[in-house]
C-alpha cells in the first residue's frame, strides 16, 4: 500500500503543478542544495513594501531614501499590525477584497479542491490570542501553499516521505466534516483524528487508532500528547504499535513533558516552532539540540529585552502581497549560529519560553519567567525518578503585582510528594518574598485551556 501512496503523491504534485514548489520548499532545503542571501532577500521585501504598500510607506517614510539597515527599521508589534488591518494587503486585494475572499464550507475535501481550482484568494486566519490581542492574518494562495509545504519540510526532518502514514491529533475548533477526507487516507496516508474535549474516552479511541492505523508519524500539541500519556499510564492502555516519531508544536515543550511522552510512546519527540502569521519557521533535527531556522523563508532575530531574555523578531521573505516586516511575534527565544552534527550549518533557535508577558512580577519589581520554574522542576526530576509529568502556576495579580501563587504539580509516584514539596519550597522561598502567598499542590489533573502555558494569570480587582 505504501507504493500506492507514493504513486498518488507523485501524480498529485504533477497534476496540481506543485512539483516546483515541493522542490523549492522541501526537497532542496533538506538536501542542503539551496543557498540564500538573507540580506538581499530582506532588502527585496522591504524595498517592495515601502514602494507599493501604503501601510509601510507611511510607517517608514523617513528612511525611503536612506541606506536600509536593521538599526533604522522600527520593529512592528502586534497592536500596530492589528490596527493596520486591511492596509497590510496590497492594492490588488484591498480593492477587490470580497472577490478574493475564500469562503469555507463544512467539508475539508471540498475546501481543498477549491484551493487548487481558484487562481488566487484571500483567507482570514486568527491567532490564538494568548497575549489578549488576537490578530486577524491574511493569507493568499501562495502563502497557504508555502505554509503547507513548510509543515511537510518539518516532517521530512523526522524522516517522512510522501506516502508515509501520518496521524494528525488536534482539537476540532470548527464544525468541519472530516469523513470524506479520511476516506482517502488509503491513497494519501494522512488521517485526521480531531476531538472537541480531551477525555479518557478520546484517549482510548486514540490508542485504538494508533494500534489499527499504525501511523509512521503523529502530529499534535505538547499538552495533548502529555495528557494522552498520563491517561494511557493511569488506565493501563496498551500501545501495540510504535510510530517512528512524533512532532509537537504550538506550545512551549518542557523537559518533563518530553520525558513523560517519550517513555509512554517509546519514540522520539521532535519540537518545532511557528505561528499563524508566518507558518512553520524552525524544526528540530534528529540530534534535538535546538531548532534549525528556515533561513530561506524567514529572517529571525532575537533582541535583548531583559537580563538573559530576548524577544523574537521575524520577517518572511517573498510575501509581497501580504508583507509582515520585522514583526515582534511576542515570544521569548534565542537565535544563534551552530554547526550541527546533522550537517546543517546556520542559525538555530532555542530557549523558547512563551510569551513576552508570560512572567510573575514580584512586589520588588523583579520578574520571574517560566524558565526559572522549569529549571527547578527539571532539577527535582533529576533526583526523583522523573516523577513530575506536568505543572502549572496560577498567578493571582492585584494592581499589576503578584500576591498569591498556586503551583500545581502532577506526579507519577505519590511517595515523592513530601520530598518534592520540601525541595520546591526551599528553592522558591529563596526568591519569592514572604509577602506573597505560596501554595504547592498535587492535584490528580491539571485543567487546560486551548493553548496551555506554564503561568496562568488571574487579575483580581
Q: What is the CATH number of the domain that holds 442?
A: 3.30.300.30
246 plus 197 within the same structural domain:
yes
Which of 308, 329, 355 delimits the end of a domain? Answer: 355
Q: What distance in Å separates the CA atoms of residue 251 and residue 128, rounded to the nearest whole number?
A: 11
Whether pLDDT at 285 is above 70 = yes
Whether pLDDT at 237 is above 90 = yes
**pLDDT cut 70: percent of the chain above it:** 95
Average pLDDT, the chain: 87
Task: Please give the tally of structural domains in the chain.
Answer: 2
For residue 99, give the CATH number of its domain.
Answer: 3.40.50.12780
454 plus 343 within the same structural domain:
no
273 plus 381 within the same structural domain:
no
Q: Mean pLDDT check: name the lowest of 265-274, 283-292, 362-371, 447-456.
A: 447-456
Q: What distance in Å separates the CA atoms of residue 61 and residue 74, rounded to the nearest whole number?
A: 12
340 plus 365 within the same structural domain:
no
8 plus 141 within the same structural domain:
yes
- Contact yes or no for 96/150 (Cβ under 8 A): no
Reported confidence tier of residue 176, pLDDT bands at 50, 70, 90: low
> What is the model's pTM?
0.85
The mean per-residue pLDDT over the stretch 189-197 comes to 91
- Contact yes or no for 419/284 (Cβ under 8 A): no
For residue 142, the number of C-alpha atoms closer than 13 Å in the C-beta half-sphere is 11
Q: Give the domain extent around 211.
A: 2-355
Reported confidence tier of residue 66, pLDDT bands at 50, 70, 90: low
21 plus 162 within the same structural domain:
yes
Q: What distance in Å separates the CA atoms of residue 245 and residue 171, rounded to the nearest whole number?
A: 20
Q: What are phi and psi of 248, to 5 degrees?
A: -120, 150
Q: Mean pLDDT check: name the lowest of 65-74, 147-156, 158-167.
A: 65-74
The enclosing H or E element of 91 equals helix 91-94
Place of cell 517513555: 263
373 plus 239 within the same structural domain:
no
152 plus 221 within the same structural domain:
yes
Whether pLDDT at 186 is above 70 = yes
pLDDT tens, residue by residue, 290-333: 999 999 999 999 998 877 789 999 999 988 888 999 999 888 89
pLDDT tens, residue by residue, 379-418: 888 888 888 888 889 999 998 899 999 999 999 888 999 9
Query: Higher pLDDT residue, 452 or 346?
Result: 346
Whether pLDDT at 131 is above 60 = no
290 plus 431 within the same structural domain:
no
Nearest CA to 281 out of 337, 371, 347 is that of 347
Q: Where are the alpha helices (DSSP H) in 214-277?
A: 222-234, 255-265
351 plus 367 within the same structural domain:
no
Query: Higher pLDDT residue, 366 or 108?
Result: 366
Which of 328, 355, 382 delimits the end of a domain? Answer: 355
123 plus 265 within the same structural domain:
yes
Whether pLDDT at 154 is above 90 = yes
Q: What pLDDT, on a 0 to 100 scale, did the predictor assign at position 347? A: 95
Q: Angle between the 255-265 and 370-383 helix axes, to the nearest 10 degrees?
A: 50
Q: What pLDDT, on a 0 to 100 scale, did the predictor assign at position 294? A: 95
Which of 312, 328, 355 delimits the end of a domain? Answer: 355
pLDDT tens, residue by residue, 241-255: 999 999 999 888 888
321 plus 389 within the same structural domain:
no
Q: What pLDDT, on a 0 to 100 scale, did the predictor assign at position 183? A: 87
Q: What pLDDT, on a 0 to 100 scale, did the predictor assign at position 133? A: 57
Q: What distance in Å separates the CA atoms of residue 149 and residue 139, rounded to the nearest whole number?
A: 14
Reported confidence tier of residue 273, pLDDT bands at 50, 70, 90: very high
Q: What pLDDT, on a 0 to 100 scale, did the predictor assign at position 174? A: 60
Amino acid at each position: 500500500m505504501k507504493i500506492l501512496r507514493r504513486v498518488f503523491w507523485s501524480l498529485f504534485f504533477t497534476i496540481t503543478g506543485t512539483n516546483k514548489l515541493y522542490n523549492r520548499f522541501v526537497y532542496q532545503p533538506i538536501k542542503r542544495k539551496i543557498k540564500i542571501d538573507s540580506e538581499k532577500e530582506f532588502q527585496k521585501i522591504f524595498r517592495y513594501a515601502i514602494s507599493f504598500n501604503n501601510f509601510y510607506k507611511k510607517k517608514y517614510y523617513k528612511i525611503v531614501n536612506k541606506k536600509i539597515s536593521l538599526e533604522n527599521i522600527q520593529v512592528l508589534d502586534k497592536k500596530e499590525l492589528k490596527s493596520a488591518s486591511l492596509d497590510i494587503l496590497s492594492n490588488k486585494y484591498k480593492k477587490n477584497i470580497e472577490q478574493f475572499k475564500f469562503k469555507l464550507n463544512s467539508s475539508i475535501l471540498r475546501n481543498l479542491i477549491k484551493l487548487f481550482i481558484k487562481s488566487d484568494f484571500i483567507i482570514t486566519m486568527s491567532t490564538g490570542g494568548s497575549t489578549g490581542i488576537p490578530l486577524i492574518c491574511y493569507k493568499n494562495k501562495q502563502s497557504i501553499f508555502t505554509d503547507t509545504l513548510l509543515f511537510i519540510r518539518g516532517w521530512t526532518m523526522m524522516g517522512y516521505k510522501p506516502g508515509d502514514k501520518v496521524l494528525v491529533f488536534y482539537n476540532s475548533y470548527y464544525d468541519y466534516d472530516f469523513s470524506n477526507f479520511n476516506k482517502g487516507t488509503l491513497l494519501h496516508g494522512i488521517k485526521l483524528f480531531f476531538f472537541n474535549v480531551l477525555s479518557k474516552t478520546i484517549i482510548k479511541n486514540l490508542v485504538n487508532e494508533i494500534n489499527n492505523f499504525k501511523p509512521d508519524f503523529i502530529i499534535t500539541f505538547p499538552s495533548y500528547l502529555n495528557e494522552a500519556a498520563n491517561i494511557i499510564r493511569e488506565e493501563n492502555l496498551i500501545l501495540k504499535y510504535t510510530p517512528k516519531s512524533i512532532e509537537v508544536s504550538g506550545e512551549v515543550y518542557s523537559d518533563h513533558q518530553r520525558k513523560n511522552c517519550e517513555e509512554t510512546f517509546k519514540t522520539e519527540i521532535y519540537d518545532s516552532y511557528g505561528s499563524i502569521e508566518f507558518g512553520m519557521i524552525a524544526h528540530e533535527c534528529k540530534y534535538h539540540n535546538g531548532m534549525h531556522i528556515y533561513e530561506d523563508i524567514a529572517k529571525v532575530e532575537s533582541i535583548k529585552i531583559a537580563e538573559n531574555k530576548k524577544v523574537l523578531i521575524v520577517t518572511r521573505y517573498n510575501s509581497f502581497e501580504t508583507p509582515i516586516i520585522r514583526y515582534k511575534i511576542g515570544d521569548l527565544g534565542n537565535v544563534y549560529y551552530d554547526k550541527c552534527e546533522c550537517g546543517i550549518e546556520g542559525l538555530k533557535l532555542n530557549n523558547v519560553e512563551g510569551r513576552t508577558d508570560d512572567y510573575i512580577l514580584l512586589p520588588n519589581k523583579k520578574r520571574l519567567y517560566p524558565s526559572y520554574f522549569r529549571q527547578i522542576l527539571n532539577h527535582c526530576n533529576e533526583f526523583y525518578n522523573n516523577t513530575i509529568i506536568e505543572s502549572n502556576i496560577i498567578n493571582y495579580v492585584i494592581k499589576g503585582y503578584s500576591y498569591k501563587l498556586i503551583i500545581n504539580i502532577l506526579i507519577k509516584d505519590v511517595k515523592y510528594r513530601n520530598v518534592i514539596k520540601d525541595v520546591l519550597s526551599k528553592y522558591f522561598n529563596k526568591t519569592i518574598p514572604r509577602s506573597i502567598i505560596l501554595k504547592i499542590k498535587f492535584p490528580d489533573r491539571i485543567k487546560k485551556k486551548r493553548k496551555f502555558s506554564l503561568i496562568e494569570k488571574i487579575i483580581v480587582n
